[in-house]
Structure 1
Amino acid sequence: MSEHPFAVVSLCGDVPQLHDVPRIADDAERDADEVVAGPFTAVTLDAALGADALVSAIAETEILTPWILVAGPDERDIATEIVGRALDGAPGVFGLAGVVIDGAEVPDGIRRHEVPAVVAIDGAATAIRGLASDVATHGPRVPEPWARIITSSRTDVAMRATLARRALADDPGYRPRALSEAQLALLRELSRRLVPQQPGPAIDLAARLDRMIEAGESDGWRPTGMSTDVEAYRAGLDALAAIWMRGTAAQDAVIREVIEGKAAAGSVLTPRQLSLWFEDARNDLVRLWLSHPASLAHVGYSGFATGGTGPEPAGYLVLAAGEREEWEPEELGRLGAAEGRTS
């Protein structure tokens, strides 16, 4: 069993029973791998302050855990504006994980951002706990030392916005937009084989890839003679489905044959075309995994924090292997020489 701290930013006063609702069943029912949402840190803000002051107050709170925004019927418009600003990279703000609306429907403006959002039916505390559990279960969390870097002035607003959106948990009920249900299911199975992720909740790479190709947001590269991304993925997955096997060893053999251009691809694609598509698919899946801020933390890459909005240019002064600068997480090595100690 693992706990996942959350912050709760309420625009409608205190949330009764947030801290005393039982988080888990009795000891006999606990699962060692169970994801438990909480403990919760509550922050209460006055919606009458307006969006500018509220966003500044959230930044000043220095929230480094995922956080949930809570609003009532009268605060829906201001909540929509805060969500937009948080996902647009507002300085000092990162980690918006979801929205709870108490006593009213979730505004369309929030749903358009694809932020996990629910309506409180049995009380705000129950809704918060349920949403937090869903968020914790369906995506990796960004470690706090890395969240601190993302919120800092070292990270450019546009980069913070990109990372904020990528950090949102995947929808467990996601319906494919470019692929069929069967194609998406196979792509999920394939992604688990090709891109093993760190322990804990995983990124739904297949859903993100489906969304990416539907929106035409791939890298734009395709081999000569291949069709558009949507058509290539549909054809490639159909061809792969015809030869896909059960069992790790059998799947390994299929993967090797496809990579080598020796698979029996059938009438949809030639073996060579299937191999070319498979190369693109592997590249897309790895790029999607590495683009998540939790993955950047996992591999120890802090290069995203070299733009910045501070008064001084943000770059590196310490470049030696095994050494880090003061602003970097301790896990990256020992503190570098004095002249490289930047803030």
Structure 2
Amino acid sequence: MSIKSSDQPVLYCLHYLGGSAGTFATVAQHLADAVSCVALDLPGFGADGAGSGRDVAAMADGVAARIRADAPGRWMLAGNSMGAKVALVVARQAEDGAPGLYGLTGLVLMAGSPPSPEPMGEDRRAAMIAWIDADPETRQREAEAFVAANIARPLDPDRMARTVADVLRASPDAWKRWLTGGSREDWCARIGVLRSPAVLLAGAEDADLGPAAQAALTAPHLAHHRLVSLAETGHLIPLERPEAVAEAVRSLAAGAVSATAEALALPDAYAALIRSDRVNARLRAALRQRAEPDDPAYQPRALDPVGLAILRAACARVLPQESGGTIDFAARIDARLASGAGDGWRFARLPPDPEAYRRALKTLDAAARAAHGAPFVALEAEAQDALLGSLETGAVSGDLDAEQMGCWFEDLRADVARTYLAHPVALARMNFSGIGAGGDTEPLPGFHEVGIGQREAWEPNAPLETVR
């Protein structure tokens, strides 16, 4: 079937280190009625095993060239481990408007190698590099051990034999270039935050790139995503859980991951007050700007996407918000940090605000990992609350010392409160009518009814609400 003539979306599948196009054979069978699967051999693997390795940019360029040649109307990307990092780079090119890459509708990332350097112990890295050039008997034994270590349950004998054979036919050069180069490349800044909807699949028994790692390192780069933890699953998800991969692709194609965000609703009466001539033009413009919906794909400028995700998690505990639209405190704080605007003072014990935030968030995350063995964003709310509370008692130090962390936490709470109270919805919830005492002409209207419990006829009477 010609891709160009098909009405089906096309799914380009990118395999893990040591995998091949055949890795996705069963996934393709599950999707035969809904999606055209095009599984590719990345340079140095599968049918291209005699080739040399390439860096992440070169691999992404090769995938992009294939997509341009096929010219599909709608297409998605699926990547497992190494393939996920390549997929993210291709998606960035597509969202940036690269020629011939129009039509991307989503990503399915499985145990993805994140945009940042991949978390891997150096001893393990060295051991993997050492055996790839060994004698045939050693390579066979180590290839079998490599596959076994990356799955939670045994594969059927035929699939196991083919998977080991894929590892053995991989180019040693490509194998080593990924371990020494590609897996260590830092693409955080270049990938930023993608708008394309995504499903993240993570094996609950994947030690390095399981659900916590995906939440901390990959999810921050995706504005619209759903993270699914797969029980009794390791790292080689297309082989272990092909039906789950197919279901993720189907749900993505059906629009299960929304690419829209719910905006906060400003009560009509308060919106009318803002429009009235009782509010001066400068204040009206500021309030309207603050009421603009936050961009889910906000690109941080003072922080990086991972730091922004930690800040979002911390802000959510400092001031929890009800469903039905929220204020993105973290994005607004980041924009303020990047602009250099502020109230003109800081604690003498702290570095400048942007640096203080970066170092404090890194310290907070390190403390979470030390205390709970998980990144801050992956902790339950009670554990996050306890860790944040411990900042006041001087129990946490790292890139900032304990006293500095306490000062920073005071700044954070003030920044969140200030950001909330500046928002028109917050003012409306508090029945704050002070914005209507001015105007652009003299005399200013002011207030006339000032007795206890008295309200002017022009004041909104929205019910007082409490943010929980």
Whether the aligned pair in 2 keeps the contact of 1:323 and 1:332 (CA below 8 Å) is: no
Does the 8 Å contact 1:153/1:308 carry over to 2?
A: yes
Tell which deviates more after alignment, 201-210 or 297-306: 297-306
Q: CA deviation at 1:313?
A: 1.5
Q: Which amino acid aligns with 1:308?
A: G
Q: Does 1:225 align with 2:374?
A: no
Match of 1:274 in 2: 405
Q: Does 1:250 align with 2:374?
A: no
Q: Verify: 1:260 aligned to 2:367, yes or no.
A: no
User: Structure 2: where are the runs of 5+ without partners?
Assistant: 1-257, 369-375
Q: Number of matched residues?
A: 198
Indicate yes or no: 2:325 matched with 1:201.
yes
Are residues 291 and 279 of structure 1, via their aligned partners in 2, closer, same or farther at CA, if it must alter by over 3 Å? same
**Aligned letter for 2:459?**
E
1:140 corresponds to which residue?
Answer: 264
- State the 1:233 CA deviation: 0.5
1:324 and 1:189 map into 2 onto residues whose CA distance is 39
Whose Rg is larger?
2
Give CA deviations for 1:199-234 in whole Å, capped at 9, x if unaligned.
Answer: 410011111110110001122221112111111110
Q: State the match for 2:157 in structure 1.
A: none
Distance in structure 2 (CA, Å) of the matches to 1:317 and 1:206: 39
- Do the aligned partners of residues 319 and 197 (structure 1) sit closer, same or farther apart at CA in structure 2, a change above 3 Å counting? farther
Distance across 2 between alignment mates of 1:312 and 1:322: 25
Match of 1:8 in 2: none
CA distance in 1, matches of 2:279, 2:380: 44
What is the match of residue 79 of structure 1?
Answer: none
The CA deviation at 1:312 is: 3.4
Which residue, out of 383, 402, 424, partners 1:293?
Answer: 424
Q: Cα 1:231–1:180, aligned 2, differ >3 Å: closer, same or farther? A: same
The aligned amino acid for 2:415 is: D
Give the match for residue 449 of structure 2. Answer: 318
Give the aligned residue type for 2:325: P
Q: How does 1:14-29 map to 2 (within 5 A)?
A: none
Alpha-carbon separation, structure 2, partners of 1:324 and 1:299? 14
For the Cα contact (< 8 Å) 2:300–2:334, is it kept in 1?
yes
Task: Verify: 1:169 aligned to 2:293, yes or no.
Answer: yes
% same residue: 39
Where does residue 215 of structure 1 map in the other structure?
339
CA distance in 2, matches of 1:278, 1:180: 19
Q: Structure 2 CA distance, aligned partners of 1:213 and 1:166?
A: 16
Q: C-alpha distance in 2, partners of 1:220/1:232? A: 15
Could you tell me the TM-score, scaled by structure 2's length? 0.40
**Aligned Cα root-mean-square deviation (Å):** 2.0
Q: 1:184 touches 1:206 (CA, 8 Å); kept in 2?
A: yes
Per-residue CA shift, 1:271-302, capped at 9, x if unaligned? 11000011001101111111111111011111
- Counterpart in 2 of 1:302? 433
Deviation at 1:310, TM superposition (A): 4.3
Structure 1 segments (4+ residues) deviating >3 Å = none
Letter in 1 for 2:400: L
Distance 2:353 2:263 in 1: 26
Aligned equivalents of 2:463, 2:443: Cα separation in 1 = 23
Instruction: Give the Å deviation of 1:181.
Output: 1.1
* TM-aligned CA deviation for residue 198 of structure 1: 4.3
CA deviations on 1:136-176 (whole Å, 9 max, x unpaired) are x3431211100111111110111001001111111111111
> In the alignment, residue 256 of structure 1 is paired with which amino acid?
G
- Distance across 1 between alignment mates of 2:350 and 2:461: 46
Letter in 2 for 1:181: P
* 1: CA distance, partners of 2:322 / 2:447: 28
Deviation of 1:311 after TM superposition, in Å, equals 4.9
